[in-house]
Structure 1
């Protein structure tokens, strides 16, 4: 198996937008897209709660939002050792730093009183990790869990694979580390098992995967049972991925899911109302949240030229060509395909509300998108919002001649561009006047 990961970086900006893209060779890849923001964000304890409800073996845990609650939860656990985890939607918590001075968002202790003292330095304070903004993220909740020893760690995941038009199990006896590193250095330790979506996960498949993960004797049967329960969860919540790293073995002979990442099919929201109601939006950027309401993909950058584009690839190209001509993008905004005039209006509303924006560049290639709809949305937005900054528009594709007529007859100060390069040069020149 060969897995290639490409990272696209909008260079020279403080914000990096990375895409993990897996190209399929031989036995296919291990993952799908990884975007800057999952549409549904669950905290660790929420994922574990879903697993618990499906009979998956996880550590005993409680959730607390005050130091006294955390201390009381530690007493109720009555465990040999307790792990206290700050709950934020970012990785690297263990090596993070709080603005209270406390180092580490994950702590082990045997004393419930210490749990309370540590929680005091976590709750209400910002935790900064390698995946958070520079000022960190405020911690409002902590998870107090039983700490279990792990004698062996494995990796297990179920994910939707386009090459097989259905779910695939992926496992490795090398868990507790980056699965990408395992795939690159020791590909022979990656095992895949396709699941017939009609027939479901078979007993022999679960046992074979448990054996490949290195479970022996009675633990093999126990691991197979956990695998089947995880598949039941995968179907139950309309997941696109359930990743357990590590799926561990304890000295006492238990198979436990110690950490989990669950991705969900956004199109199943109408079926999964209870799950989507758990969405934690407290850490989301308000502008991104407003954009999401109108089905717009928005990411704020630190430049001064707003980008209004359809398609992620075209948006990245637009950001890069602006930079090439000496400008800096103020955002990444993807309209998508089935755009309506109201979305165009709301997009302009978001862009014009950003005080950093000194010019707006519209770059539309109409395939699915009707350029005339974009043009009508633009003219409506310019009039009603009384747009004050220069506007450069490049349109190409479906109904483009009608779109250009609408713009030219609008009487609005809109600068037309022939192509992307021309548009970028005109947008950069507009802010230098």
Structure 2
């Protein structure tokens, strides 16, 4: 694969796509079929990349921004042109990439404009993009071979070597180097970057997969880029619960190591090892759906494939430096036929993940589940016969949901009354062309065959699937589960249902208000509802002992990993709390108010990585909260990132019973001991 950093300047008037076609040798005039995979080289940003964005800091860093887009407006900003449309920007500035900073309700439209203008790389950073908007976008992406999407719900992509940032990553953390990083979590990626910078390794290219359900670029895509990149000598992968991307990456790593004489060392982390089952942990995609592997399964798969696992991102730097040294020695001393990556580093104590606390009733903070009677009413409105009854051995299971691998809708079918992994088959289909009304669709025949449904009722099956499909689209559902069986008359009927709906449709776009009015916050955990009002994601864990500690973190991935690492060190967390990547002093104060309302809490751990958030501002919020709330619970503060020295100094000089650290290990041991526990070494 050609290194696109060496692309020459395009001749005036030459179409952008023709230039990339010639330089990459990936696209020709042959009759072969083009696909979305052909856009992988577009990820190789660098000094050559011309981007449309509006970021003063990126300009100062060296990113070649050629302008911005504001619909219907033509002018100038920061000495650069403002274009009235993406099409106009493409025609006049010939950009290689476009950064989309619009809110979630406008993101899909902006991506669509970029696809139509054939912009090679599109980076979408917005959170709360409605899932059905993204399903439609992915149906477009899969039908073309010119535009590559990174995101949404991610900080972007950045080349430290090429001084090109397309996104909002905290630039002080980055330094030119030789480590390629791909991550779902923004804050965990910043921690990883900072660790490799402190170790003197630096970064080559950092790609954000993002925390949404459907990602434009996944782990395998990034690994394909890193393996052939001459600037990348080591690879780091940061995953979390939800989806199958980590398992796909494990298969890729296994194959890569088997066919490569001296493979690049790979390290990895999986967040959410101790996440409560079924809960959404901050990121829209951070929850384990039916049939998906759990966090421990992902961890095991990556380790078996040859990735060296860590329990906290601050261990990546020194760990990777050791692996690179081992690789160099192995390459220089071993025969060429036996040169291989050596696994001389083990940085995570093996801990079995089990449900060690009585869990509170499950509810989803970013996915609305309606009651069964409400779900079956929706089926009746579509003229589907319903006879609610207890499960029986003759029942079967159908589910219409989203397939995170095919990036499309998917039907799951099981001949058992409940989801049974061994007997369940998946039937993905296109979002834009599905039509099950006639019953002639091959998927209907395949489902009927798998469930052994008689031909006499296949028409009923088609009607049911079509009804589910209509509900799925019309009400912007994410998960529609139905238990089905044969009536005494021999017709197909629904016997139970569980429906879940995407709340981003309401949260960012104001759609589906009627559906979301079915939610009853009075039946939910009070603290979680209160936190939601302030934009805080709070998950209250069940009772454990009287030596509980709580954590306050900025960023979903970092919050999950903090719970994991504290648990591994012997702590018992009372909650998960994500202030959001843009935490302010006010959100910190609100977070303290919520967590101190829990009488079980004996100590508080504040773990902040200052990216967009400045550590001095967080320190101000902590001090303000301590005084205003008259707190008596001891607080341990770990501040890293932007203005970390100022923040730590403010904590140290506050005169309050606050304990400041920069090392996670030291901070974790301190807060566990303050909570009455016995911290263990890992």
1:201 aligns with 2:435: yes
1:52 aligns with 2:380: yes
User: Which among 31, 35, 38 is matched to residue 364 of structure 2?
Assistant: 38
Q: Calculate the TM-score normalised by the size of structure 1.
A: 0.65
Q: 1:51 to 1:410 in 2, by over 3 A?
A: farther
Mapped partners of 1:252, 1:151: distance in 2: 18
Which residue matches 1:265? 502
Please, which runs of 5 or more residues in structure 2 have no aligned partner?
1-243, 248-269, 281-288, 296-360, 678-682
C-alpha contact (below 8 Å) 2:395/2:484 kept by paired residues: yes
1:165 aligns with 2:407: yes
Give the superposition deviation at 1:230.
0.7
* CA displacement, residues 361-380 of structure 1 (integer Å, 9 cap, x when unaligned): 11123445543443232222
Give the superposition deviation at 1:225.
1.2
C-alpha contact (below 8 Å) 2:369/2:499 kept by paired residues: no
Q: 1:322 to 1:194 in 2, by over 3 A?
A: closer
Mapped partners of 2:652, 2:579: distance in 1: 23
Please, which runs of 5 or more residues in structure 1 have no aligned partner?
11-15, 22-27, 60-144, 184-189
Q: Which moved more, 1:150-159 or 1:390-399?
A: 150-159
C-alpha contact (below 8 Å) 1:158/1:231 kept by paired residues: yes
User: Which among 213, 216, 233 is matched to residue 471 of structure 2?
Assistant: 233
Residues 333-344 of structure 1 mapped to structure 2, 5 A cutoff: 333-344=577-588
Which residue matches 1:155? 397
Mapped partners of 2:390, 2:570: distance in 1: 55
C-alpha contact (below 8 Å) 1:417/1:423 kept by paired residues: yes
Q: 1:171 to 1:410 in 2, by over 3 A?
A: same
C-alpha contact (below 8 Å) 1:305/1:427 kept by paired residues: yes
- Pairs aligned (count): 325
Give the superposition deviation at 1:312.
4.8
Residues 4-43 of structure 1 mapped to structure 2, 5 A cutoff: 10=274, 17-18=276-277, 30-31=291-292, 36-39=362-365, 40-43=368-371
Mapped partners of 2:290, 2:369: distance in 1: 24
Give the superposition deviation at 1:149.
10
User: Which among 497, 516, 527 is matched to residue 276 of structure 1?
Assistant: 516
Residues 312-391 of structure 1 mapped to structure 2, 5 A cutoff: 312-323=556-567, 327-367=571-611, 369-391=613-635
1:306 aligns with 2:634: no
C-alpha contact (below 8 Å) 2:614/2:642 kept by paired residues: yes
Q: Calculate the TM-score normalised by the size of structure 2.
A: 0.43
Mapped partners of 2:469, 2:561: distance in 1: 39
1:221 aligns with 2:459: yes
Give the superposition deviation at 1:399.
4.0
User: Which among 519, 522, 528 is matched to residue 288 of structure 1?
Assistant: 528
Give the superposition deviation at 1:418.
2.2
Q: 1:305 to 1:156 in 2, by over 3 A?
A: same
Q: 1:431 to 1:155 in 2, by over 3 A?
A: closer
Give the superposition deviation at 1:231.
0.5
Mapped partners of 1:290, 1:50: distance in 2: 30
C-alpha contact (below 8 Å) 1:308/1:361 kept by paired residues: yes
* CA displacement, residues 193-227 of structure 1 (integer Å, 9 cap, x when unaligned): 32222223354145324433322333111111111
Mapped partners of 1:176, 1:324: distance in 2: 37
